[in-house]
């Protein structure tokens, strides 16, 4: 398979520029014994660059955007919206469509997938970019997945992502996006593990925020998390939160 699309097992540790932060970490985890990572693949940054390479409108708008600063909020919002629209209207190159279709035929097109953004400027020591680009859950079928790949590409230019890059000195022209397509799991509970206690910076205490159902409900603020502090394999503190039932109707 070409560098347009890579399975998790094919990702090498020096390929941040190709698969972004999330993709790189999934590639690493997939090769670890005892770690069960749901199967999937990445449409690489090469695919993104190929899709927009000859789009003159995109490049003209991007040139306008690079000349603005954070005080130009109205212009930034309007140009960002036009770039997102331009990307959404761009046809995905046929070789990318073929590669995605082949991977889905192997993994099972009938399954539900998460379609996740993975930018090259994320999970960095000095800038996390957490939540700056979009993720879509429970996407079923090749056509729907291809549509949401374009949505992830377009989310590279959400207002919040553009402002964050400006505030942190990142060049819009040097940040690219890979898209992760990963088979969904439907857990009884899910959460976030911090390898150091975020409140005390104690690296001998793991901190876990968890809740019932998908993690998306937790990170979106639709439910409150139960908190766990773990030291040497033992729970040393447990905080049970009052659950919001917003997502359950």
Helix (H, G, I), strand (E, B) or coil at 189: strand
* Reported confidence tier of residue 131, pLDDT bands at 50, 70, 90: low
CB under 8 Å to 65, separation ≥6 — which residues? 76, 79, 80, 83, 162, 172
Rounded-to-integer distance, Cα 42 and Cα 20, Å: 9
For residues 156 and 170, which has the higher predicted lDDT (pLDDT)?
156
Q: Which tens digit of pLDDT belongs to each residue from 27-66?
A: 999 999 999 999 999 999 999 999 999 999 999 999 999 9
Rounded-to-integer distance, Cα 132 and Cα 123, Å: 11
Q: Which residues pair with 180 in a beta bridge?
A: 42, 116
Q: Which tens digit of pLDDT belongs to each residue from 184-200?
A: 988 888 888 898 988 88
Q: Per this entry, what is the length of the chain?
A: 249
In 179-217, which positions are buried (b, 16+ CB within 10 angstroms) versus exposed (e)?
Answer: bbbbebeeeeebbeeeeebeeeeeeebbbbbbbbbbbbb
Q: What is the pTM of this model?
A: 0.84
Domains of the chain and any CATH numbers? 5-183 (3.30.1490.20), 189-248 (3.30.470.20)
């Amino acid at each position: 398979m070409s560098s347009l699309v890579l399975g998790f097992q094919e990702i090498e540790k020096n390929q941040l520029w190709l698969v972004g932060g999330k993709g790189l970490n999934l590639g690493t985890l997939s090769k670890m014994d005892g770690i069960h990572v749901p199967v999937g693949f990445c449409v690489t940054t090469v695919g993104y660059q190929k899709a927009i390479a000859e789009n003159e409108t995109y490049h003209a708008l991007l040139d306008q955007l690079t000349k603005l600063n954070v005080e130009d909020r109205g212009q930034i919002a309007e140009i960002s919206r036009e770039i997102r629209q331009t990307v959404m209207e761009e046809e995905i190159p046929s070789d990318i469509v073929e590669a995605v279709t082949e991977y889905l035929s192997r993994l099972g097109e009938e399954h539900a997938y998460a379609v996740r953004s993975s930018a090259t400027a994320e999970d960095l020591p000095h800038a996390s970019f957490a939540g700056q680009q979009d993720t879509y859950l429970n996407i079923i079928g090749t056509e729907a997945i291809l549509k949401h790949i374009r949505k992830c590409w377009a989310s590279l230019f959400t207002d919040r992502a553009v402002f964050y890059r400006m505030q942190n000195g990142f060049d819009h022209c040097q940040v690219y996006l890979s898209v992760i397509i990963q088979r969904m799991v439907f857990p009884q509970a899910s959460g976030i593990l911090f390898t150091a206690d975020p409140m005390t910076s104690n690296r001998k205490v793991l901190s876990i925020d968890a809740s019932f159902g998908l993690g998306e409900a937790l990170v979106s603020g639709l439910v409150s998390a139960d908190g766990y502090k773990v030291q040497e394999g033992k729970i040393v503190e447990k905080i049970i939160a009052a659950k919001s039932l917003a997502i359950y109707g």
